[in-house]
Amino acid sequence: MVNMHPMKTAVCTLVIGERYERLFRKYVVESWRTYCEGHNYDLVIFQKLLADLPGKSPSWQKLFILDQPELQRFEKVIWLDADIIIRNDSPPLEVPDSRLGYVSEVPPDGDVAGWFRKFSLPEGTDIVQGGVLCLEHGHRHLLESVRDFPETRLYEMPALSLCIGNSDAAYRLDPRFNALIPQLMRNYLSEYVLTNKLLKEFLWMMGYPPLRKSLREICENNWFLHAAGAKRDLIKAGRYLRRSYPPQR
């Protein structure tokens, strides 16, 4: 059962690079402020690397988030990737004490064991989508255990999945807390359209119904909209949410 007593909670992220900072300021941060104000969370944005990790993607930086002095006074730390937009009527992200909250990802073929084999890892019990993590300081050892794994085409995600999924702390969140827009669009559109950026943009400008419907329904049926690196999807989702779910002041 979720412990409902008030806890100090921080929502945090890392934003580095002029391009990412611009997108974050224009399409993301206002939705985070609205969400934090609505649930009495603090917002902490880091704008410099948290650790020196030569040869590894910035995605590994999240593994050092619990080391940061700015977060030591919080009991819960919610990590969000910086390309996630939050719908303004989203519920609080609640996780039982001592558990680590995440959204599970299912591979296209449903073969979780096979997914781990692709990265030469032992079989894990679950795939952790690391864009949204609800942490406590007791989980620091779990994040530390991921750091020495090698880089992969999915960055830290395979190692994170192995270490968290096989732990006693693992706690699956409602998938609406980490809705991957590019993946969910596969329920509406062919892979050919989704992987052809020029065609996809042309169809969007032409008002192609399946494409418009995909974005509309993804935004209406989920809470945290994760562009997962797809800049144009981030912009479109941001504009749709501003129009359809304006902040209530």
pLDDT tops 90 at residue 2: no
Answer yes or no: are the C-beta atoms of 46 and 36 closer than 8 Å: no
pLDDT tens per residue across span 188-223: 999 999 999 999 999 999 999 999 999 999 999 999
Confidence band (pLDDT; 50, 70, 90) for 7?
Answer: confident
Q: What is the pLDDT of residue 248?
A: 63
Beta-sheet strands, E only, within the chain: 9-14, 42-46, 76-80, 84-86, 100-104, 128-135, 170-172, 179-180, 224-226
Considering only the C-alpha atoms of the chain, give the largest distance between any 2 of them, rounded to a whole number of Å: 51
Which residues of the chain form CATH 3.90.550.10? 9-177
């042309």: which residue's tokens? 202
CA-to-CA separations, 155 to 183, 193, 199, 248, in angstroms, rounded: 18, 26, 28, 37
Between CA 150 and CA 159 the distance in angstroms is 8
Q: Does domain 9-177 have CATH number 3.90.550.10?
A: yes
* Residue with more model confidence, 102 or 2: 102
pLDDT tens per residue across span 226-242: 999 999 999 999 999 99
Q: What is the pLDDT of residue 105?
A: 96
pLDDT tops 70 at residue 103: yes
pLDDT tens per residue across span 35-92: 999 999 999 999 999 999 999 999 999 999 999 999 999 999 999 999 999 999 999 9
